[in-house]
Amino acid sequence: MRASGDYRDDAVHPTLRRALPVAQATLDGGAPGRSAYGACDVLETMGGQGLTDFTFGGTTTGEAWSINPYSGCQHACTYCYVPDTVKAERGRWGRYAVVKRDLPTQLSRLVRKRQKMTVYLSTATDPYQPLEAEHGITRKCLEVLVRKDWPVEVLTRSPLVLRDLDLLTQLSQVRVGLSIPMLDDRVRRALEPLAPAIPARLRALRKLSDAGIPTFANYTPACPPTTHDADAVARTFLEAGAQWVNSKGLQRQETTLVPMWDRLHGTEFEDLTRFLASRPRQEAWHQELGRAFRKVGLAFSTPFFNPPFPAPEATAPGRQAKLGELPRLPVLVPTRLPRRAAAAGLLR
């Protein structure tokens, strides 16, 4: 008998089991939207949670919230950790995306009842995957959070986040990150074939930074050098406007290495799987990166998600919280601080 909660079979997964073909109108009153994007089916569901207790992968509760406007992800990244955390079939990941139709309504009700804490958009999906352009669930959730001025951290692979600059700039506490695990777009096409191109993500980071949004890059897993050595990686992120960069090695090796090998075997990037299977090689690369980031004065840190913002009550109304007010991150302290890097406030 299958253990309670041990899904790994999408037919019995509670979210996927109740998902239905798209049938309702979109939030702006338009047509229901596409039923598929290529091989990815679009489904919808009702009654999902508006706010989820976010534990940062541990057991600590009551520190932050997460909002996942969709289940599944059209980007279908080979090394995505989410199938493991939500107990979904890895082999089907990327073949479906579920629109949580009434999530903004649920959220509007919950923000009046729940404690005001940092909201992470998102922890188990990409909030700006392609179907967001049609369904707007993420934007509707942001509108709710802006009305109550809740602290928000966004993490995405998509330049679509730029659409919502009008909302993000209204928040007193906000930061936005772009997931950019590699700088060689040929590697991106091999491992993230349905995700936005790397140059487009870097341009989005620059535009967010220029708009005054605290910005960071998530360089995880830090793919080895193909077109960029460590110095070039550091310069690229600095020039793209990142105020700090988070980077870790490959997560969930036991479930991600085989699909990566299947994707890369026989290609020019075959050794990348061996690299990400080797802790010593990853650690040596991170040491090179640390030295390179110190040279340019850009903060280089290890968490996947940043710590929550301080309690809103501790922040003066209408003032953007400084990153230096966060619990201090373990960073490699640079020898000199260009003005833009110092603006992040992480290095003290």
pLDDT of residue 145: 98
Sign of dihedral through CA atoms 174, 75, 128, 14? negative
Least confident of 75-89, 152-166, 302-316: 302-316
Question: What average pLDDT does the segment 325-338 reach?
Answer: 35
Average pLDDT, the chain: 83
Q: Give the pLDDT confidence of 219-229 residue by residue, as tens digits.
A: 999 988 888 89
Domain boundaries, given as residue ranges, for the chain: 173-348
pLDDT value at 153 more than 90: yes
pLDDT value at 332 more than 80: no
| Dist CA 67 CA 309 (whole Å) | 16
pLDDT value at 331 more than 60: no
pLDDT of residue 9: 65
pLDDT value at 174 more than 90: yes
Question: What average pLDDT does the segment 26-40 reach?
Answer: 73
3: pLDDT confidence band, cut at 50, 70 and 90?
Answer: very low
What tokens appear for 259 in the block?
Answer: 């699909």
Q: CA dihedral defined by 253, 86, 269, 266, rounded to 10 degrees?
A: 90
Which residues 6+ apart lie within 8 Å of 121 measured at CB? Answer: 66, 67, 69, 127, 138, 141, 142, 152, 153, 154, 155
Exposed e or buried b per residue across 289-313, where buried means at least 16 C-beta atoms within 10 angstroms of its C-beta: bbebbbbbbbbbbeebbbebbbebe
pLDDT of residue 30: 63
pLDDT of residue 343: 34
Question: What average pLDDT does the segment 33-49 reach?
Answer: 83
Residue pair 334/346 in contact by the 8 Å Cβ criterion: no
pLDDT of residue 8: 63
Residue pair 43/21 in contact by the 8 Å Cβ criterion: yes
Question: What average pLDDT does the segment 109-118 reach?
Answer: 94
Question: What average pLDDT does the segment 240-245 reach?
Answer: 97
pLDDT of residue 86: 74
Highest mean predicted confidence (pLDDT) among 204-218, 275-289, 300-314: 204-218
pLDDT of residue 252: 79
106: pLDDT confidence band, cut at 50, 70 and 90?
Answer: very high
Question: What average pLDDT does the segment 174-181 reach?
Answer: 97
Nearest to 303 by CA among 138, 177, 202, 197: 177
Amino acid at 87: K
pLDDT of residue 323: 43
**Higher local confidence (pLDDT), 174 or 256:** 174
Q: Give the pLDDT confidence of 295-328 residue by residue, as tens digits.
A: 999 999 877 889 999 875 544 433 444 444 433 3
Q: Could you give the C-alpha distances from 216 to 3, 38, 87, 190, 253, in angstroms and in order?
A: 40, 31, 29, 24, 25
pTM: 0.83
| Dist CA 24 CA 22 (whole Å) | 6
pLDDT value at 168 more than 90: yes
| Dist CA 339 CA 337 (whole Å) | 6
pLDDT value at 74 more than 60: yes
